[in-house]
Structure 1
């Protein structure tokens, strides 16, 4: 397997160096290139190929979202895996990134493990490495050897766990060739709060999913599959092994007819 090339973009040199050190210490055979802003990254992207772009949102001269929009307009870069890294994790920012064509979204603060997980997920998804090759690339014995990369995790207090709510029904959630039952805690025409339990991992923040809903009777069922965007994801427990998460998704019916069908299902769900 040839060398994997990653472009890391951030106006903070300290953060760039920490990301570089984390990737080099935990993964084998990686070549990390750096750019201090979107303009410099443009030049590199025009003259070199990269297997993955890791880009901060808030930068001078050209922001990460502006660079992403430019990348998606380039014929040779339309399929470029592009991960935005930012503290701008409000709903409107996640939605904007999704509409601009972001591949994935990593919120600050984040841990070295979360960074590695995002990188490997995109490399596997793009076909750059297989799952077997991904395992061989990981240096399991050096997960804690990044030396200072823990600063990427920040010092903020963890958010409180989402309060328990009585389920309003059940549905199915599809993403990345996975299908998993979900409990619907809250739902309206614009968004839904779901609880998902799976040992196979969760949808990514800013990722696209499909929510399958059904209501009515066996004789007169009403079903709909609604595209949606994940704009909030919270683990039910503060452990790396947690297999349950609470997701908030923005529902995105593709037509007026689909929106009317969704309204009908919601009326039946109550």
Structure 2
């Protein structure tokens, strides 16, 4: 029987399902509720009490940062642990989230282990006591609490920027997978693409792209993902700006019809529903197709 409640907030249903499945499998004492954006989450928190919030940054109607700012002003939500799960990993965004009272920061794509450790870290003994009292054991070959024992006992390093009253420090503020660096301002590269996964990244070339998916080609000597693995595609939209599109691996295919092919084609299906991201993607697709004409 669930004893704790978590709210999962992300505009992509695929990502919400991944987070909920991880929480359900690793922490059966936590019951999850989900919301597609900050506005919906705000409405749910106005009527219900939650022990943990796992939230995306970029969402329509109300962003994760705006939701965090609102929470830290509400007496009933002021100290609720808040984990920001996002493809934004540059230093400025991390500092901004820490200043607003984020508890932890996890980069997309994330692994179940990475997410579990963040949850253990922000919930601490409260989660352990709930697990112990329920008699439940952790899923997987090893006990996640034993794996992360140091996270519960280590001394948190002082934050480099002041946090607002009631905020918890985000001592491990860099995400699991750092995004590609922004290119210099100027004409965007229409061919090169960086595709990030939980434990690796692919240097690749865009073969084709539309509003639902991108097909890239990469050399075989790299580490490749599995089908349905999370992915973040970084595309240069010009003027030094990057669009970070969330998706999953839909297809892996040899480029040549022979076993010793040197290149592999990877198709990533997009899952974002944020209008701003879709607008950026539309502009990129238009320029990509114009460049091939």
* TM-score under structure 2 length normalisation: 0.48
Alignment check: 8 A CA contact 2:131 2:137 kept: no
Alignment check: 8 A CA contact 1:9 1:41 kept: yes
Does 127-136 or 28-37 show the bigger shift? 127-136
Q: Does 1:209 align with 2:157?
A: yes
Instruction: Classify 1:202/1:89 alpha carbon distance in 2 versus 1 (closer, same or farther; 3 Å).
Output: farther
Corresponding residue number in structure 2 for 1:27: 27
- 1:113-128 paired onto structure 2 within 5 Å: 113-124=113-124, 127-128=126-127
Corresponding residue number in structure 2 for 1:15: 15
* 3-state secondary structure, aligned to 2:150: coil
- 1:56-67 paired onto structure 2 within 5 Å: 56-67=56-67
CA displacement 1:230-262 (0-9 Å, x = unmatched) = 554889xx9xxxxxxxxxxxxxxxxxxxxxxxx
Distance 2:152 2:90 in 1: 19
Corresponding residue number in structure 2 for 1:195: none
Distance 1:107 1:97 in 2: 13
Q: Does 1:88 align with 2:88?
A: yes
* 3-state secondary structure, aligned to 1:49: coil
- In the TM superposition, what is the alpha-carbon distance from 1:101 to its structure 2 partner? 0.3
Corresponding residue number in structure 1 for 2:47: 47
Corresponding residue number in structure 2 for 1:140: 139
Structure 1 unaligned regions, length at least 5: 144-198, 212-226, 239-270
Distance 1:142 1:115 in 2: 17
Corresponding residue number in structure 1 for 2:276: none
Instruction: Classify 1:4/1:142 alpha carbon distance in 2 versus 1 (closer, same or farther; 3 Å).
Output: farther
Alignment check: 8 A CA contact 2:56 2:64 kept: yes
Structure 2 unaligned regions, length at least 5: 143-148, 160-168, 178-198, 200-293
- In the TM superposition, what is the alpha-carbon distance from 1:84 to its structure 2 partner? 0.5
Larger strand proportion of the pair: 1
Aligned length: 164
CA displacement 1:168-218 (0-9 Å, x = unmatched) = xxxxxxxxxxxxxxxxxxxxxxxxxxxxxxx935999xx96239xxxxxxx
* 3-state secondary structure, aligned to 2:50: coil
Distance 2:34 2:176 in 1: 31
Distance 2:19 2:102 in 1: 19
